[in-house]
Amino acid sequence: MKKITFKRQVFIGIMLIAVGNILALILHEGLCANIAWVLYGLVLIINPVYPERYNNDAKKAKWGIRIAGFICILVGVLTRYVV
């Protein structure tokens, strides 16, 4: 199996959030968008992939990606699309 690159992971995240928003629009369930944000945040936390140019400081790059994942989870939890 191919290793996931940073660009591919960002593309997957954009697609996941877009699909969640489209489902929320079609089904009139805002929870779909919230779930998409939380799932993408979990993907970033579980599999922190960073660009190759940050290989010299991999530890900080991983922490940065994990913080971004935590922010995505906060967006999914705190935005009130359900209301």
> Can you count the helices (H) and strands (E) in the chain?
3, 0
Query: What does the pLDDT read at residue 70?
Result: 97
Instruction: State how far the Cα of 29 lies from the Cα of 36, in Å rounded to an integer.
Output: 12
Average pLDDT, the chain: 89
Q: Which of the pair, 73 or 3, is modelled with greater confidence?
A: 73
Tokens of 11: 């593309």
Residue pLDDT, tens place only, 31-65: 999 999 999 999 999 999 988 888 888 889 899 99
Instruction: State how far the Cα of 28 lies from the Cα of 6, in Å rounded to an integer.
Output: 32
Residue 59 CA, chain-centre distance (Å), reads 20
Model's pTM, two decimal places?
0.86
